[in-house]
């Protein structure tokens, strides 16, 4: 397999992962007018599986680092596999909630609140699992504090935007917060499946690419359970059935698959870099994705166009604090 062994290239790849994780939701936005998020999500998961399999048989099988994917499968133990799959199941539930939040509140709100909360809690969880790993703890948590402040400003901006629509405001905020609380724990579970020979803090026997593969299997097998429940008990709109999925055209389905490819590309690349950067800093950098999503939501999709006076100041503060938090967390490793 192919891994990264120097800090600077690892940081560059993690930043690329951050862009992937902050951009995949554009595909949901592209189909939102004619295609419900529940139907989008099935195609999204197929994109995840396709990318994970290709990565396992290419990046996970070539190169001189450690075991190849098939060799790793042959020696994989049940506990490690279950940890990786559990990470996929937890992430899947949280991401489905995040997609629901974005469908209600928009990318510029659902992602900063849900993704930002997952970012903060995930850093804490990975810190507990994997320790400091060379990070300056004071600087690291100063960055976390900046992100918390950014989430607060985002919530205030959303309240201004949705003034007079309190029920909708509450629903969007609550689902975003639930998404963040759930997603925060997936990364640490996957890390526990990994061999400490490759990832500091690992407690299992899998190489990073095999861990990502079983993470994806967890997401795939849990999607019918979670998504069919949401289709029968929608957060917005009428009930859906499986028949509705087959009403989409090929372009709509491929857009969803593209979303999964973009997200999983970020996951694969982040786990190539994790041996050098460590789980805590890897999670912190890749989950700067809310900054990217905010950019798309505010400047490309114009989600705050026509917002009440004072909203732009809150958004500016949110951007500044998120970016300052990202830089501060990065500096904690230097």
**27 within 8 A of 293, measured Cβ to Cβ:** no
**pLDDT, mean of residues 248-277:** 94
Residue 168 has pLDDT above 70, yes or no: no
Residue 156: inside a domain: yes
**What letter does residue 190 receive in the DSSP assignment?**
H
Residue 100: inside a domain: yes
| Tens-place pLDDT, residues 206-253 | 999 999 999 999 999 999 999 999 999 998 889 999 999 999 999 999
| Tens-place pLDDT, residues 16-48 | 999 999 999 999 999 999 999 999 999 999 999
What does the pLDDT read at residue 115? 84
Q: Residue 117: CB partners within 8 Å, gap ≥ 6?
A: 151, 176, 177, 179, 180, 181, 184
What does the pLDDT read at residue 92? 97
Higher pLDDT, 151 or 48: 48
Residue 240: inside a domain: yes
Residue 174 has pLDDT above 70, yes or no: yes
State the average pLDDT for the chain: 89
Q: Residue 156: CB partners within 8 Å, gap ≥ 6?
A: 314
What does the pLDDT read at residue 283? 76
What does the pLDDT read at residue 165? 53
pLDDT band of 7, cuts 50, 70, 90 = confident
pLDDT band of 307, cuts 50, 70, 90 = confident
Domain that holds residue 123: 7-331
Residues 184, 114: Cα–Cα separation, whole Å? 10
How many domains does the chain divide into? Answer: 1
**What letter does residue 65 receive in the DSSP assignment?**
S
Give the number of other CB atoms < 10 A from CB of residue 168: 13
What does the pLDDT read at residue 132? 58
Residue 153 has pLDDT above 60, yes or no: yes
Residue 148: inside a domain: yes
**223 within 8 A of 41, measured Cβ to Cβ:** yes
| Tens-place pLDDT, residues 67-120 | 999 999 999 999 999 999 999 999 999 999 999 988 888 887 787 888 888 888
What does the pLDDT read at residue 290? 81
Phi, psi of 194 (to 5 degrees): -95, 150
What does the pLDDT read at residue 211? 97
What does the pLDDT read at residue 309? 87
Residue 2: inside a domain: no
What does the pLDDT read at residue 158? 77
Q: Which of 124, 125, 116, 42 is nearest to 87 (CA)?
A: 125
Residue 1: inside a domain: no
What does the pLDDT read at residue 190? 93
């Amino acid at each position: 397999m192919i891994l990264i062994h120097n800090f600077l290239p690892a940081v560059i790849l993690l930043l690329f992962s951050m862009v992937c994780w902050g951009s995949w939701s554009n595909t949901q936005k592209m189909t939102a007018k004619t295609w419900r998020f529940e139907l989008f999500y099935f195609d999204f998961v197929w994109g995840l599986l396709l990318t994970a399999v290709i990565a396992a048989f290419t990046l996970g099988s070539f190169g001189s680092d450690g075991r190849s994917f098939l060799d790793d499968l042959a020696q994989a133990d049940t506990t490690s596999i279950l940890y990786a799959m559990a990470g996929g199941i937890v992430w899947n539930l949280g991401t489905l909630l995040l997609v629901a939040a974005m469908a209600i509140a928009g990318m510029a709100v659902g992602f900063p609140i849900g993704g930002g909360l997952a970012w903060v809690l995930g850093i804490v969880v990975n810190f507990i699992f994997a320790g400091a790993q060379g990070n300056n703890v004071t600087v690291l948590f100063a960055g976390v504090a900046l992100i918390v402040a950014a989430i607060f400003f985002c919530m205030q901006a959303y309240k201004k935007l949705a003034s007079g629509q309190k029920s909708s405001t509450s629903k969007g905020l609550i689902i975003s917060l639930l998404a963040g609380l759930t997603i925060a724990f997936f990364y640490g579970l996957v890390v526990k499946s990994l061999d400490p020979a490759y990832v500091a803090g690992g407690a299992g026997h899998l190489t990073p690419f095999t861990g990502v593969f079983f993470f994806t299997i967890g997401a795939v097998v849990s999607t019918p359970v979670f998504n069919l429940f949401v289709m029968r008990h929608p957060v917005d709109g009428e009930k859906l059935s499986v028949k509705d999925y087959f009403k989409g055209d090929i372009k709509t389905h491929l857009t969803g698959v593209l979303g999964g490819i973009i997200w999983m590309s970020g996951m694969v690349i982040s786990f190539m870099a994790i041996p050098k950067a460590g789980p805590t800093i890897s999670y912190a950098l890749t989950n700067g994705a809310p900054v990217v999503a905010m950019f798309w939501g505010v400047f490309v999709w114009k989600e705050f166009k026509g917002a009440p006076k004072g909203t732009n100041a809150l958004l500016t503060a949110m951007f500044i604090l998120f970016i300052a938090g990202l830089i501060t967390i990065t500096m904690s490793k230097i």
